[in-house]
Structure 1
Amino acid sequence: MTEIETTRLILRRFRVQDAAPMAAYRNLPHIARYQAWPSPLTPEAAIDQARTYSEQDPEHPGWFQYAIELKADRSLAGDLGVNLHDNRLQADLGYTLAPALHGQGYATEAVRAVLSHLFVRGLHRVSAECNASNLPSSRLLERVGFDLEGRRPEFTLNLNTGEWTDTLLYGLLASRWPNLADDPQATAEATGRGNR
């Protein structure tokens, strides 16, 4: 399992102990409204979810969910998912951060580190989708270099509110990443440190 380290974060495999803090931020209505999971996430369901995440393999096609841990106090800050396509040359990206940490650059730091890791591995393209009303998320994607490629009107049904929402489609090609990664704020160590 490859761990990704940045100046302030460690992106690592989930542990069962992450269940309670994960449920705490995922159950907040202003977080859940932008996500596809049903809410509230019960303590039992959170444990099952954390266990499922802990068993995923980042080297195989499918989803792998990184736990985003703050180095300062070793607390769970959020999570970041990578869906590796069967061709192993493309991936989808999604992320959630605890609201107390919004606006401090943590999500940007985590996304940049994972992008560096994926492009070093030889991926050709990374895609992301975003609820059109989630402006902070769309700004983050554009800030790290994603191009807005389209908009799907009333494409996603929110399981918690019953509301149909527009979805923004973003993409980033590996050929663009070297220039973007030269940004001083993008200097994250995206090399693996081995297992923990």
Structure 2
Amino acid sequence: MRLIAERLVLRPFEPGDAPALAAYRSDPEVARYQAWESPLSVGRAAEVVARFGADAPGGVGWFQYAISLEGALIGDLGVNLHENRMQAEIGFTIAAAAQGRGYGTEAVARVLRHLFDDLGLHRVSAECDPRNEASARLLERVGFQREGLRRANTWLRGEWTDDLLFGLLATDHR
């Protein structure tokens, strides 16, 4: 399953992606608002890539797309398809060197088109730490609405953090 965007290809992970995944997921600024353990060794990244690569797109649960620019891994985007196959949650990460160029917006918009237009989903949700203003702006840019705030809901990196909740309905996406 490959999704082609204007400048990007969203594809399954491949073994050669491990070094790039380890690099950006070990960057403290990239990992700051994420739940994964950082730093990530290349060996551990190879295990993660193998697990991601074994997952099937379109199945219930998480599927992680590799975001590729001219063949190079610049980020990843996860889709968690609900068991009712009418709803999903998304999450995304872009390497620091690729941030601020619209790649995240392009990748999320492409996945949303796939989820709504190809799979016929009713709703897609996302959440982020409210301090992650860039991610919140990206979600709003592609049409998500802020739906709420769960205060001190997530224990992350030694502190309780808030969760900013977003939702997008198929009727609003069209």
> Shorter chain as normaliser: what TM range?
over 0.9
Q: What is the DSSP-based 3-state SS (H/G/I as helix, E as strand, rest coil) of the residue aligned with 1:31? A: helix
Partner of 1:169: 165
Quote the Cα distance in structure 1 between the aligned partners of 2:18 and 2:122: 33
- Which runs of structure 2 are paired with 1:1-196 in the superposition (5 Å)? 2-71=1-70, 74-120=71-117, 121-158=119-156, 161-178=157-174
Q: What is the DSSP-based 3-state SS (H/G/I as helix, E as strand, rest coil) of the residue aligned with 2:140? A: helix
Give 4+ residue runs of structure 1 displaced > 6 Å after superposition. Answer: none
How many equivalent pairs are there? 173
Quote the Cα distance in structure 1 between the aligned partners of 2:130 and 2:159: 13
Q: What is the DSSP-based 3-state SS (H/G/I as helix, E as strand, rest coil) of the residue aligned with 1:68? A: strand
- Give the structure-2-normalised TM-score: 0.97
Quote the Cα distance in structure 1 between the aligned partners of 2:100 and 2:56: 30
1:145-195 CA-to-partner distances (Å, cap 9, x unmatched) read 00000001111111xx312111100000001111xxxxxxxxxxxxxxxxx
Residue 60 (structure 1) shift:
1.1
Quote the Cα distance in structure 1 between the aligned partners of 2:160 and 2:30: 16
Q: What is the DSSP-based 3-state SS (H/G/I as helix, E as strand, rest coil) of the residue aligned with 1:80? A: strand
By relative contact order (CA 8 Å, sep 6+), the higher-ranking structure is 1
Quote the Cα distance in structure 1 between the aligned partners of 2:48 and 2:97: 22
Quote the Cα distance in structure 2 between the aligned partners of 1:123 and 1:136: 26
1:121-142 CA-to-partner distances (Å, cap 9, x unmatched) read 1100000010110000000001
Partner amino acid, structure 2, of 1:89:
M
Give unmatched runs, 5+ long, in structure 1.
179-196
Quote the Cα distance in structure 2 between the aligned partners of 1:7 and 1:127: 24
Quote the Cα distance in structure 1 between the aligned partners of 2:98 and 2:37: 23
- Give the structure-1-normalised TM-score: 0.87
Quote the Cα distance in structure 1 between the aligned partners of 2:99 and 2:91: 16
CA RMSD of aligned residues (A): 0.8
Q: What is the DSSP-based 3-state SS (H/G/I as helix, E as strand, rest coil) of the residue aligned with 1:37? A: coil
Quote the Cα distance in structure 1 between the aligned partners of 2:114 and 2:59: 15
1:2-47 CA-to-partner distances (Å, cap 9, x unmatched) read 2100110000000111011011001111111110111111222100
